[in-house]
Amino acid sequence: MINPVFFQFISVLGLLPLAAVLLGALWIHGRLGIVTATPPSRRNSLLIAGAAGGAWVVLGTELLNIGHALRFWPVLAWWVVPVLLLTGLLWRDRSRLRAWLTPVGPLGAGAWLLIIPIALLLLASGLTGLLAPTNTGDCLTYHLPRQIYWVQQQGVDFFPTNNVRQNMMPPFAEFVGAQVIILAHGDLWANGVQWFALVMTLAAVSLIARSCGAGIRGQLLAALAVVTIPGSFTMASSAKNDLVLAMWTCAACWWCVEIHTTRRCTPIQACLLATAIGAMLLTKGTGAIFALPLAVWTTAVRWRQCGVSCWRPLAFLIIVPLAMNAPHWARNQQQFGHFAGPVESKLSGTQLYVNDSFRPQLIASNVVRNLAVQLATPSAEVNQFLFEKIKQLHRRWLKLDVDDSRNTFLNLRFEVAWHPYEEDLVAAPVHVALLLLMPLFLLMVRHRVNLGTCLALLAVVAADFLLFSAYLKWQHWHVRLEVPILCLGAALLGAVWTAGPLRPLAPVVANNWLLMLLPTVIWNARPLLTSQSLLLRSDRLEVQCHYYPSLAPLIRQVAQRVASLQPHRIGIRTGSNSPDYILMNQLQRQLRDPVFSVFNPDLPIAGWTEAPPDAVIDSRNSESQLRHRASGTIYQRIELISPFGVYVPAAPTAP
């Protein structure tokens, strides 16, 4: 095991990517020729540095993957080089740092009343992410396990698995996470990727609000709108990827707005926008949906300004995203015969994510249901009334069943329910209601905002939501997947609620956001303020098993029993949606550098060779013996901790 003092020292190296981005932002802000915003902005400098850092992550991961060199020393060198280079440049140009240190200006009491809750919510989510292990289902089943397999195989090539998502899903957030885990020798900063993405999202949204005509209070109100989206707050302390997508979506939108307002598109602007769009595609499948309206908007603006000659800078919008995504798409194409992965899951039948039909009635059904789950309230009576009206709408007007299998994922049952404690299901009713009324609000303040920019942004938000509803089958978890759309809408909320006749009501709106968020802050899956506070609990396993409470004692026993065998290679055979990371993490804490593999995987990789494991953990059957398909080795069960069986190689039979 690593010495604890040494571990604490070396874990700081996990912050090297963050250091590179911050140093880059400092240097960029001092180089006015690089900063594209008018006037120059610290926030824009941070976003430019973030885009450069994102491209550096992708380039480094794919280059190191070629030689199976995704390990500590090469990754350390990959980040030390830009940190040292930027430090030298900053020292040389240290006089330019005055631009960064220039005071923002006097802030009134109203601004501080917005800054304080924003800072407190960021502090709470950041502290939670630092203290708590991730306990969200998707993180435990594929976000983090895929990173563990990448680290141990020293590359991001596909590997045998029972969970197809560990290979096929867009990997940008996990690229960052894997490099941070390698540098830190552990998952101490695993949740920090999402938290920093939230900070970057606040920067982008506040800049968009500024272009919409918002002053400093409007920009701060837009930032508060983002951080009070319950899904934003809860996911900022997890290892998911929705906030990473929100960051790239809002950054791309900001550069679109900049092109729209400045009426020019330099190669740097085009490259930044293209990098953000490429990262959107590489972060999450819904990134392509959210990127399309932005690409169309930018193309339309440039066509109107330059005609046919607009193709030169906009060629970046094709070349850069293709270059960033080509390696992952090629791996999917080779393994599944399609660049986006299997059209249907080989593990769960023929259910598709995509709607079976694009009939107007089915699209309307998804639009209504997606809005309804976002408008859920703490009142069960109101929710039931809304449910009945939507069911009636489907029956009388759409001539559809409210749970029609053609546009409903996995035969789920539609409901309208308030889930303030579930980060995958928690709605944002106040935000959504205000966005639905946005045309009316814009009419009221049309002379106090930049109406053209506001209308274009509203069109992008509406197009994102309509495309999302038209393409994807309805599911309860869409409230989480729609967070990037709500973050874009937050810029509009900040602009209109601090303008004209709506300005006096801004405190009421802000207080409603905070009140609706309060139950989520207090009683979420990783609480800071209750009797189950992370500040008082020392049992990491109990927190990890929040959604799987019955597993905690079983995994503890299994990990202790397997650790007593001192194996090096451990085979794991569980279900296609099992939270394997909990077990892997426990074994990592009790063994020195264990190597994991999926025992007799349902989804093998052609040509993959694998040594027989020293021990096997199986939860899929009750057999007393197992046979390793790759080597023919027979394993004998030595203990059953239901449903987990612990197996070791059987002793050879005497001749």
Specify whether the CB–CB gap between 37 and 44 falls below 8 A: yes
| pLDDT value for 1 | 42
Specify whether the CB–CB gap between 145 and 239 falls below 8 A: no
Rounded-to-integer distance, Cα 653 and Cα 354, Å: 53
- CA distances for 203 relative to 19, 46, 211, 277, 490, angstroms: 17, 8, 13, 17, 12
What number of residues does the chain have? Answer: 655
Interacting residues of 213 by C-beta distance below 8 A, sequence separation 6+: 448, 449, 450, 453, 454, 495, 499
In 472-593, alpha helices (H): 478-481, 483-496, 506-522, 540-544, 551-564, 580-590
Check whether the bond before 643 is cis (ω within 30° of 0).
yes
Closest CA to 153 of 239, 78, 71: 71
Indicate the SS3 state at residue 626. Answer: strand
CA angle (488, 410, 379) in 5-degree steps: 60
3-state helix, strand, coil in the chain (%, to 5): 60, 5, 30
Q: Tokens at residue 60, please?
A: 């480094």
Strand partners, 640: 645
Q: Tokens at residue 70, please?
A: 């995704």
Q: Tokens at residue 497, please?
A: 């609620």
Q: Tokens at residue 68, please?
A: 């199976």
CA angle (52, 58, 59) in 5-degree steps: 85
Rounded-to-integer distance, Cα 300 and Cα 302, Å: 6
| Sequential DSSP letters for 22-64 | HHHHHHHHH-TTT--SSS--HHHHHHHHHHHHHHHHHHHHHHH
Q: Tokens at residue 436, please?
A: 């639905």
Give the rounded distance of the alpha carbon of 224 from its chain centre. 19
| pLDDT value for 39 | 65
Name residues of the chain where pLDDT drops below 70. 1-9, 32-39, 99-100, 309, 343-351, 652-655
| pLDDT value for 37 | 59
Kindly state the helix (H) or strand (E) to which residue 73 belongs, with its residue range. helix 72-92
Indicate the SS3 state at residue 634. Answer: strand
Please state the domain extents for the chain: 1-94, 360-503+515-522, 547-649
Closest CA to 248 of 514, 517, 58: 58
Give the HSE-up count for residue 191: Cα atoms under 13 Å, Cβ half-sphere: 21
Amino acid residing at 568: H
Amino acid residing at 106: P
Closest CA to 202 of 219, 217, 177, 178: 219
